[in-house]
Amino acid sequence: MPALTDRDLTIVAPSLPPGLDTPAVVVDLDRVEANLAGMQRRLDERGVALRPHTKTHKSVRFAALQRDAGAVGLTVAVLSEAQLFADAGFDDVFVAYPVWAGGPKAARLRGLHERIRLTVGVDSVEGAVALGRALEGADRPLRVLVEIDSGELRTGVAPDGALPVAQAAADAGLDVAGVFTHGGHSYRGPQRVADAAADETDTLHRSVAALRGAGFAVDTVSAGSTPTALRSATGPVTEERPGTYIFGDRQQTNLGGADPASIALAVATTVVSTASGARQCVIDAGAKSLAKDRPGWLDGHGVIPGLPGAVITSVYDHHGIVALPDGVPVPDVGEQFAVVPNHVCPVVNLSDDLIITRDGGQVDVWPVDGRGLRA
């Protein structure tokens, strides 16, 4: 049967309050505060600013905790998230995405720019031109960072492509404030993390040199990803944009980006069936709770510390199939377990609210204010 990693087996899930109506998402606020303080302290020691990516929590209250812990501003993926946080009083937001402003987003972008210190990503001449048109006549230029590809092969230009985009952006009346990258190839496996961090600093260094050589001031050099955040916080880098570090998840634990005892979020689930007769049980957390993110280097759809070695072999919309190893008794229908998800971001995005706990007891329920925002 499929197996968990050695690292999986060390994960300690948050405690579940008794009697939950499942599936439900539980957050250990003590662990959240420790995670936020830990990342902030370690980046402070390096003299690098923290601009956390809020797509992990999509919640005003968690963003406020990050600000209170010392974050210089927020990172978001989409304009609607920037609008959410602007409405909540956050005045410095970076949209780490090559925003296409040629359509209906032009007016939304303009409106946001007039309210807060907005920065957006750009990785093409056409994108820069569209941003410039959207901001024509504004009282001050829009800040942009040129996105650099550090090896993920997703968005972003190669370092030697930074200058043409920066020049197009300047010609379009934009304020080219620097560059950013996301070493997302760190997620391809634990053996890739160190190289991805080195790629981030190397490609940023080369891009900054090209832009400074052409006369651009470059005040911001931004790197990203939770696994690489502490490794790439060096050299030219002025800020880091980790997101997942607030909660941690199974993937981060295996990548070395989260301590196994620091995981602050779990999905509470109930066993609903053991009828198949196989050494398995069925839980009420399926793809609509756990999502389907599963990197090829991990077996199963999450970890259940209360059933050591059990593998969630498949998830349907409302069912999770849990294969049980020899020696683990088949649980009773009605038993509850905490599942630590593979990837926490889509799990939060599927949830209207989060059950907040301290010392294993429920203390509050917080809304996921930005749940579903994507445009």
Give the residues lining the site for a copy of itself (CB under 8 A): 19-24, 55, 77-78, 97-100, 102-105, 108, 123-124, 126-127, 130, 147, 149, 153-158, 161, 184, 270-278, 280, 282, 284, 287-289, 291-293, 316-319, 321, 332-334, 345-346, 349-352, 371-372, 374-375
State in angstroms the smallest separation of the CB of 7 from a copy of itself: 23
To a copy of itself, the closest distance from the beta carbon of 158 in angstroms equals 7
**Which residue number, 41 or 292, has a Cβ lying nearer to a copy of itself?**
292
The candidate with the shortest Cα–Cα distance to 55, out of 246, 218, 319, is 246
The least CB distance from residue 97 to a copy of itself, in Å, is: 7
CA angle 7, 198, 186 (to 5 degrees): 40
Q: How far is the CB of 1 from a copy of itself (least distance, A)?
A: 14
Cis before 23 (ω within 30): yes
- Alpha-carbon torsion angle 71, 73, 78, 80, nearest 10: 110
Q: Which is nearer to a copy of itself, 19 or 137 (CB)?
A: 19
In the complex, the smallest distance separating the C-beta of residue 18 from a copy of itself, rounded to whole angstroms, is: 9
- Minimal CA–CA distance to 53: which of 357, 359, 348? 348
User: For residues 65 and 283, which CB has a smaller minimum distance to a copy of itself in the complex?
Assistant: 283
Cα–Cα dist 237/202, whole Å: 10
Nearer to a copy of itself, 24 or 29 (CB): 24
Residue (159 or 305) nearer to a copy of itself, CB: 159
Q: Which residues pair with 267 in a beta bridge?
A: 25, 339
Identity of the residue, 254 or 349, whose beta carbon is nearer to a copy of itself in the bound complex = 349
Distance CA 153, CA 241 (A): 19
Output the CA–CA distances (angstroms, integers) from residue 88 to 53, 83, 92, 352, in the order listed.
Answer: 16, 9, 12, 18
- Nearest-approach distance from CB 124 to a copy of itself, in angstroms: 5
- CA 283-287-290 angle, 5° bins: 75
Query: Which residue lies nearer to a copy of itself by CB, 43 or 63?
Result: 63
On whether the CB atoms of residues 133 and 113 are closer than 8 A, the answer is no
User: What's the rounded Cα separation, in Å, for the pair 129 and 102?
Assistant: 9
Q: Which residues pair with 178 in a beta bridge?
A: 145, 220
What residue spans of 191-249 are helical by DSSP H? Answer: 193-213
**Minimum distance, C-beta of residue 68 to a copy of itself, in the bound complex (Å):** 26
- Write down the least CB distance from residue 78 to a copy of itself, Å: 6
Instruction: Considering the complex, state which of residue 43 and residue 172 has its C-beta at the smaller distance from a copy of itself.
Output: 172
